[in-house]
Homo-oligomer: A and B are copies of this chain.
Amino acid sequence: MGEHRVVVVGGGFGGLQFINDLKGAVTRITLVDRRNHHLFQPLLYQVATTILSTSEIAWPIRHLYSDRRDVTTLLAEVTGVDAARKQVQLRDGTTLDYDTLVLATGATHAYFGRDEWEPVAPGLKTLEDATTIRRRVLLAFERAELATDPAVRDALLTFTIIGAGPTGVELAGIIAELAHKTMPKEFRNIDTRTTKVVLVEAGPRVLPSFAEELSAYAQKALEDLGVEVRLGKPVTECSADGVKIGETFLASRTIVWAAGVQASPAAKWLDIPADRAGRAIVGPDLTAPGLPDVFVIGDTASVKRSDGSPVPGIAPAAKQQGGYVAKVVRARLAGKAAPQAFRYRHQGSLATIGQSAAIVDFGKVKLKGWIAWWIWGLAHIYFLIGTRSRFAVAWSWLWIYLSGQHSARLITQKETMRDEG
């Protein structure tokens, strides 16, 4: 114990795991985040699709550490790091001194150089993103109900999801269920069962990180829900009117971007090499090259597995890295030998398709259908922080399961009918 000052930037899975595992080792930990909440990102798509409400998947960070007198939480935006002075720079001009720095600042969505697509094709990384997508999806049905021109109505009832990774597949499945199962009885001028949900993937199959047989199953399950899967051609244009897939134009008033990820600027702050997605390339102990007191973890770090493949940008990977760095810092403070190099243990991949199908890939064991769906559900409820949220989410799901009705279907925020025109 001593006045060793630890600064953690980012209250995501990696940052929190690090702080949890460092308990008792140091007396001064400062956690900086520009948000006041930790977000359970794996369920964010359920907020975007009216299943869960925002407070069911996000918790005030400072509440999580109310009993940890060693942890100070600051709501502030980091703008840079002065590694020579060992200082973190905040937007208000003040600085924080550190002895050990952990950067766990995550990633955002990327448009591969087409940032002008963002306003018409929002991505899904924050609570605001989720409520934006929810609002747009719900408003599209509302406008279709009012539309007099059949072409406009069809474009309003066509939803395009770009990118068939887990997020894209999950969004497409639930939007299709919303249109085909939840909403039909509620509209008088339109038949929401005519809704088209188009999932576009430039690669040859959906969920490319899963085994081929599971990809095939997922595609079949999506098609059963009424999703149109278009593979092998990239989106070449996005506008308020629709998308161009290869050379073909699709009139679609609602577009969601689930295709690319860009790391936060941690590598730039440290002036160290990054990979193509902007992830800082770190050493085997997750330190920045030449900066032994600075660790980079989670989605903003580029780490390789023993077979040379990249560690995936998922919550369990970030948690393992946070736990590992806590071990390294503990060893250093205790004057003990450093632990062996970080080694990622893949626990399995999960994805859901709508509310009754899922796939689970544990490597040797591959599961699909309702068994996979229950494993997925229990795993996610288990990993939700906070007893109350576990119950609340379980209750929301049970309710939808029994009643078929989504409850979080609110159109909020300023962007009203009038603003969007």
Which A positions have Cβ atoms within 8 angstroms of B? Answer: 34-37, 53-56, 58-60, 62-63, 65-67, 69, 72-77, 91-92, 94, 127-128, 131, 138-139, 142, 145-146, 148, 185-189, 386, 388-389, 391-392, 395, 399, 403, 405, 407-414, 416-418
Residues of B within 8 A of A75 (CB): 139, 142, 145-146, 411, 417
Chain B residue at minimum C-beta to C-beta distance from A28: B188
**C-alpha gap A189/B69 in the complex (Å):** 11
**C-alpha gap A345/B272 in the complex (Å):** 74
Q: With A392-B395, A410-B58 in contact, is A186–B37 under 8 Å at CB? A: no
- The reply to whether B417 and A388 form a contact with Cβ atoms under 8 Å apart is no
B55, B76, B127, B185: the one within 8 Å of A407 (CB)? B55
B60, B74, B416: the one within 8 Å of A410 (CB)? B60
Chain B residue at minimum C-beta to C-beta distance from A405: B63
- The reply to whether A74 and B146 form a contact with Cβ atoms under 8 Å apart is yes
B37, B128, B146, B386: the one within 8 Å of A413 (CB)? B128
Residues of B within 8 A of A58 (CB): 410
Q: With A60-B410, A399-B388, A412-B128 in contact, is A185–B66 under 8 Å at CB? A: yes
Chain B residue at minimum C-beta to C-beta distance from A414: B128
Residues of B within 8 A of A67 (CB): 185
- The reply to whether B138 and A36 form a contact with Cβ atoms under 8 Å apart is yes
Shortest CB–CB separation between residue A60 and chain B, in angstroms? Answer: 4
Quickly give the copy total for this chain. 2
Chain B residue at minimum C-beta to C-beta distance from A70: B188
Beyond known contacts A53-B54, A65-B186, A74-B145: 10 more, CB 8 A cutoff:
A34-B416, A35-B411, A36-B410, A60-B186, A62-B187, A66-B186, A75-B146, A91-B418, A92-B146, A388-B403
Q: With A75-B146, A77-B418, A418-B77 in contact, is A37–B410 under 8 Å at CB? A: yes
- The reply to whether A73 and B417 form a contact with Cβ atoms under 8 Å apart is no
**C-alpha gap A53/B56 in the complex (Å):** 9
Chain B residue at minimum C-beta to C-beta distance from A408: B55
B37, B92, B412: the one within 8 Å of A411 (CB)? B37
Q: With A72-B188, A128-B414 in contact, is A407–B62 under 8 Å at CB? A: no
Residues of B within 8 A of A94 (CB): 146, 148
Chain B residue at minimum C-beta to C-beta distance from A37: B410
Residues of B within 8 A of A54 (CB): 53-54, 410, 412
- The reply to whether B412 and A131 form a contact with Cβ atoms under 8 Å apart is yes
**C-alpha gap A65/B67 in the complex (Å):** 47
- The reply to whether A417 and B77 form a contact with Cβ atoms under 8 Å apart is yes
User: Which of A60, A63, A76, A414: most chain B Cβ within 10 A?
Assistant: A60
- The reply to whether A59 and B145 form a contact with Cβ atoms under 8 Å apart is no
29 A-B contacts (beta carbon < 8 Å): A34-B416, A35-B411, A53-B54, A53-B55, A53-B56, A54-B54, A54-B410, A54-B412, A58-B410, A60-B410, A63-B409, A66-B185, A67-B185, A69-B188, A72-B188, A73-B145, A74-B146, A94-B148, A127-B410, A127-B412, A131-B412, A388-B399, A388-B405, A388-B407, A391-B395, A392-B392, A392-B395, A395-B395, A413-B413
Residues of B within 8 A of A138 (CB): 36, 60
Chain B residue at minimum C-beta to C-beta distance from A58: B410
Chain B residue at minimum C-beta to C-beta distance from A92: B146
Residues of B within 8 A of A66 (CB): 185-186
**C-alpha gap A92/B420 in the complex (Å):** 12
**C-alpha gap A389/B186 in the complex (Å):** 19
- The reply to whether A407 and B389 form a contact with Cβ atoms under 8 Å apart is yes
Residues of B within 8 A of A62 (CB): 186-187
**C-alpha gap A410/B53 in the complex (Å):** 12
- The reply to whether A186 and B407 form a contact with Cβ atoms under 8 Å apart is no
Residues of B within 8 A of A391 (CB): 395
Shortest CB–CB separation between residue A22 and chain B, in angstroms? Answer: 16
